[in-house]
């Protein structure tokens, strides 16, 4: 049982969704990103996604694009990623990395998995790598004991959901709407349908992301999903510092614990 | 894992040069895009497969190519230009004479017809120099499709006339201000639009790159360039050329003309990449000569990237060539040794641009001038017995402003 499996066993036992918070490594600087991630861990994020700032983030909206640009301009390098992951682990948090595929491919898939595991990372979320092209990653994740979190989307056919969930471990990342990352006023109505369709094919926990930004939305999603993923809203708070990030994390952590109506 | 993409083995165009069912040319190609787009890519592959076998579709495509685009395009000999090429004979495949002024029209007519077949009403596209954007806007006007073109802000400035052209044709042009503000970022923004609106929208990609089925589909829509050229060269000279030269940005005109000669193993296939200010300067777009394998915009192919796998911004005086990636089939042909790739600097390309204008009365696109510069070099290597076919992929009207600045042709510019 991986540490992510244990986490979801615990949150399911508590009758709530897990809170999963995203922040990019190196934003605005490597040192500050460690502090921001520490703040989310301390304030109640059950799992953090450490984002890899990449030059061509095709699945990201303006908030995360701008954060990646800033991190790169401030000199973020790939080796810094492992250092940031290690800081989360040392803080007592659980970290997975969210990254576009080319940096992993370029580093060497097995070497990347090895170094991520050594830094205390628990797995990888791969927005532009599906199981279809994932054979090398499937092997490396097995070798180094990492979870592989693949995405499903409202447009995914049942056949593709079956293929994706069969290859996934840890949890399944359900994108609530068709589109890029970014805070939205409403989480798409498609989210619950997608979670239900996913559950037909797997017992893996299902996390819902894209658009969640408030405690109310976290409560709403927590009612039907195993995990509530918050990215852009946290990134937007990062400019206001650790207190602002901690405050939003607390609100979201209360949201996922709110008794179901 | 299951193979969900259909086989194209029954299509009239299929050959042993096709990729595998999931779009791999050897180690290259494939699909590296978000799951949200996989359904649309499967749908596109399936619809394209059906269309290829539908005589009505192929007849309609042929009708548009001949009755609208103006095919077949001419093959012109360029004797005065060739005097500067060691005496070798040079033949120009005149894609510049197509409607809209470049080879791009072949692919957009094919994909626009497919868009109609899929019942989609909205088309998005990226453009660098504006040639693909203009061609897409044209096809959308003809076939009554809504058209949105993403164009890097740097390029909207370099190619202001083409922006106006697209708007005249009824397209919406969206300047892209992210990243390097050129072609790569225009593709990023188009992909973001597509992932949001994929139900109603077809992404009409302009080059033989990206995720499967785009590389094979775009190639097939352009291979008429090579098929026509092969027949024309044989008819005019009684022999096959020694070499075929074409510029390579994403590589669509090159793959189209190369395919006419892939099985003629004595014919050298030479791709000319933008060497910009020189390979040592770091300011170039010579992906195949300087890059390493990586994923960008949906495919594994050669890529200009730094030691962390971040994309390096490409540079060229030609807005249509400054792309840090390249179509995956070119990567395959390079590794297989079937095609060779060389870099041509801005200065060499501009010399060839001016030379063709003054010796043959043809103003080429600066993109195509890279192929012409390559042909001058090849001619000197081959000597007087050499015969070189050049893909003159586009006309240079759009580049007059750039050329005027480069050559100081207008006071005060």
Nearest 5 degrees, angle CA A236-CA A238-CA A241? Answer: 140
Band of pLDDT at residue B410, cut at 50, 70 and 90: confident
The fold of A3-257 is TIM Barrel (3.20.20)
Query: What are the residues facing B273 on neighbouring strands?
Result: B343
- Is the model's pLDDT at B163 over the cut of 60? yes
Chain A residues 195-224 with a CB less than 8 Å from chain B: none
Cα–Cα distance for residue pair B303/B308, rounded to 1 Å: 13
Cα–Cα distance for residue pair A210/B36, rounded to 1 Å: 13
The fold of B24-66+104-215 is Rossmann fold (3.40.50)
The reply to whether B14 belongs to the active site is: no
Which residues of chain B are within 8 Å of residue A175 when distances are taken between CB atoms? Answer: 35-36
pLDDT for residue A261 = 58
pLDDT digits (tens, 9 = 90+) for B58-76: 999 999 999 999 999 999 9
Domain B70-102+222-407 indexed as CATH 3.40.50.1100: yes
pLDDT for residue B11 = 41
- Is the model's pLDDT at B29 over the cut of 80? yes
pLDDT digits (tens, 9 = 90+) for B328-368: 999 999 999 999 999 999 999 999 999 999 999 999 999 99
CA nearest A59: which of A189, A236, A178?
A: A178
Catalytic residue (choose from A35, A46, A49, A115): A49
Band of pLDDT at residue B1, cut at 50, 70 and 90: very low
Best-predicted range by mean pLDDT among A174-178, B15-19, B117-121?
A: B117-121
Computed over every residue of chain B, the mean pLDDT equals: 94
Mutate to test the interface with A, among B150, B308, B325 (most CBs of A within 10 A): B308
> How does DSSP classify residue A18?
E
Structure tokens at B38: 């996989």
pLDDT digits (tens, 9 = 90+) for B288-326: 999 999 999 999 999 999 999 999 999 999 988 989 999
CA A153 to chain CA mean position, Å: 15
Contact A146, A116 (CB under 8 A): yes
Structure tokens at B139: 């096809």
> Is residue A136 within 8 angstroms of chain B, CB to CB?
no
- Is the model's pLDDT at B10 over the cut of 70? no
Contact B360, B395 (CB under 8 A): no
What percentage of residues in chain A have a pLDDT greater than 90?
90
What percentage of residues in chain B have a pLDDT greater than 90?
88
The reply to whether A133 belongs to the active site is: no
Chain A residues 94-123 with a CB less than 8 Å from chain B: 101-107
**Interchain contact, A178 vs B197, CB within 8 Å:** yes
pLDDT for residue A63 = 92
pLDDT digits (tens, 9 = 90+) for B38-56: 999 999 999 999 999 999 9
Structure tokens at B46: 């399936």
pLDDT digits (tens, 9 = 90+) for A21-62: 999 999 999 999 999 999 999 999 999 999 999 999 999 988
**Interchain contact, A56 vs B195, CB within 8 Å:** no
Contact A53, A67 (CB under 8 A): yes
Query: What are the residues facing B364 on neighbouring strands?
Result: B395
**Interchain contact, B192 vs A101, CB within 8 Å:** no
Domain ranges of chain B: 24-66+104-215, 70-102+222-407
Question: Closest chain B residue to A138 measured between Cα atoms?
Answer: B1
pLDDT for residue B6 = 39
- Is the model's pLDDT at B9 over the cut of 50? no
- Is the model's pLDDT at A257 over the cut of 90? yes
pLDDT digits (tens, 9 = 90+) for B185-204: 999 999 999 999 999 999 99
Contact B225, B96 (CB under 8 A): no
Band of pLDDT at residue A182, cut at 50, 70 and 90: confident
Cα–Cα distance for residue pair B84/B284, rounded to 1 Å: 26
Cα–Cα distance for residue pair B274/B321, rounded to 1 Å: 6
pLDDT digits (tens, 9 = 90+) for B76-91: 999 999 999 999 999 9
Nearest 5 degrees, angle CA A20-CA A23-CA A26? Answer: 150
Q: Give me the mean pLDDT over the A123-130 stretch.
A: 98
> Is residue B192 within 8 angstroms of chain A, CB to CB?
yes
> Is residue B275 within 8 angstroms of chain A, CB to CB?
no
Q: Look at chain A and count its residues.
A: 261
Q: Give me the mean pLDDT over the B27-34 stretch.
A: 97
Cα–Cα distance for residue pair A64/A67, rounded to 1 Å: 5
ipTM above 0.90, yes or no: yes
Computed over every residue of chain A, the mean pLDDT equals: 95
> Is residue B21 within 8 angstroms of chain A, CB to CB?
no
Domain ranges of chain A: 3-257
In order of A193, A201, A207, A209, the CA distances from A167 in angstroms are: 21, 12, 16, 20
H-type alpha helices, A14-74: 30-42, 62-73
pLDDT for residue B13 = 47
What percentage of residues in chain B have a pLDDT greater than 70?
96
Question: A81: Cβ–Cβ under 8 A, 6 or more apart, which residues?
Answer: A25, A26, A50, A52, A97, A99
**Interchain contact, A160 vs B4, CB within 8 Å:** yes
Cα–Cα distance for residue pair A177/A185, rounded to 1 Å: 12
CA nearest B149: which of B104, B97, B209?
A: B104
Cα–Cα distance for residue pair A124/A98, rounded to 1 Å: 6
Contact A38, A91 (CB under 8 A): yes
Closest Cα of chain A to B274: distance in Å? 22
> Is residue B40 within 8 angstroms of chain A, CB to CB?
yes
- Is the model's pLDDT at B5 over the cut of 70? no
Closest Cα of chain A to B1: distance in Å? 7
């Amino acid at each position: 049982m991986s540490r992510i499996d244990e986490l979801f066993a615990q949150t399911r036992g508590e009758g709530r969704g897990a809170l999963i918070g995203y922040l990019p490594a190196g934003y605005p600087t490597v040192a500050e990103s460690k502090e921001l991630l520490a703040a989310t861990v301390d304030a109640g994020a059950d799992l953090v996604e450490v984002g890899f700032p990449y030059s061509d983030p095709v699945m990201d909206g303006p908030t995360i694009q701008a954060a990646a640009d800033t991190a790169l301009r401030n000199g973020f390098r790939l080796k810094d990623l492992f250092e940031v992951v290690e800081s989360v682990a040392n803080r007592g948090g659980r970290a997975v990395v969210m990254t576009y595929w080319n940096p992993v491919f370029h580093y060497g898939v097995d070497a990347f998995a090895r170094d991520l595991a050594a830094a205390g990372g628990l797995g990888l979320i791969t927005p532009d790598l599906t199981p279809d092209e994932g054979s090398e990653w499937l092997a490396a994740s097995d070798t180094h004991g990492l979870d592989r979190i693949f995405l499903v989307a409202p447009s995914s056919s049942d056949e593709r959901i079956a293929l994706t969930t069969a290859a996934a471990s840890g949890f399944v990342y359900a994108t609530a709407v068709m589109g890029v990352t970014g805070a939205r006023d409403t989480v798409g109505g498609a989210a619950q349908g997608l979670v239900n369709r996913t559950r037909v094919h797997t017992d893996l926990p299902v996390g819902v992301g894209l658009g969640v930004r408030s405690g109310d939305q976290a409560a709403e999603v927590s009612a039907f999903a195993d995990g509530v993923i918050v990215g852009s809203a946290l990134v937007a708070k990062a400019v206001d510092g650790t207190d602002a990030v901690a405050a939003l994390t607390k609100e979201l952590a209360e949201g996922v614990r709110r008794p179901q109506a | 894992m299951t193979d969900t993409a259909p086989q194209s083995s029954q299509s009239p165009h299929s050959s042993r040069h096709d990729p595998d069912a999931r779009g791999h040319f050897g180690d290259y190609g494939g699909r590296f895009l978000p799951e949200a787009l996989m359904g649309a890519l499967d749908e596109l592959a399936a619809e394209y497969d059906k269309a290829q076998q539908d005589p009505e579709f192929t007849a309609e495509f042929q009708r548009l190519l001949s009755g609208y685009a103006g095919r077949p395009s001419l093959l012109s000999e360029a004797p005065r230009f060739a005097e500067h090429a060691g005496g070798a004979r040079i033949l120009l495949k005149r894609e510049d004479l197509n409607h809209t002024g470049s080879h791009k029209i072949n692919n957009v007519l094919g994909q626009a017809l497919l868009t109609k077949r899929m019942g989609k009403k909205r088309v998005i596209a990226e453009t660098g120099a504006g040639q693909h954007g203009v061609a897409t806007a044209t096809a959308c006007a003809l076939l009554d499709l809504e058209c949105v073109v993403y164009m890097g802000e740097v390029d909207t400035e370099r190619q202001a006339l083409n922006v106006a052209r697209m708007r005249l044709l009824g397209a919406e042009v969206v300047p892209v201000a992210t990243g390097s503000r050129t072609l790569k970022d225009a593709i990023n923004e188009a992909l973001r639009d597509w992932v949001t609106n994929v139900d109603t929208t077809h992404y009409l990609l302009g080059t033989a790159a990206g995720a499967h089925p785009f590389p094979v589909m775009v190639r097939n829509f352009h291979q008429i360039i090579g098929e026509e050229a092969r027949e024309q060269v044989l008819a005019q000279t009684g022999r096959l050329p020694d070499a075929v030269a074409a510029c390579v940005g994403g590589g669509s005109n090159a793959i189209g003309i190369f395919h006419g000669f892939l099985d003629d193993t004595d014919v050298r296939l030479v791709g000319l990449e933008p060497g910009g200010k020189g390979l040592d300067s770091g300011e170039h777009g010579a992906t195949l000569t300087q890059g390493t394998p990586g994923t960008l915009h949906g495919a594994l192919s050669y890529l200009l990237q730094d030691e962390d796998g971040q994309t390096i911004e490409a540079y060229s005086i030609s807005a249509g060539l400054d792309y840090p990636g390249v179509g995956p089939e070119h990567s395959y042909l390079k590794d297989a040794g079937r095609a060779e790739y060389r870099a041509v600097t801005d200065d060499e390309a501009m010399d060839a641009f001016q030379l063709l204008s003054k010796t043959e009365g043809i103003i080429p696109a600066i993109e195509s001038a890279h192929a012409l510069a390559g042909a001058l070099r090849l001619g000197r290597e081959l000597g007087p017995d050499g015969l070189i076919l050049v893909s003159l992929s586009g006309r240079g009207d759009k580049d007059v402003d750039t050329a005027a600045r480069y050559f100081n042709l207008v006071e005060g510019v």
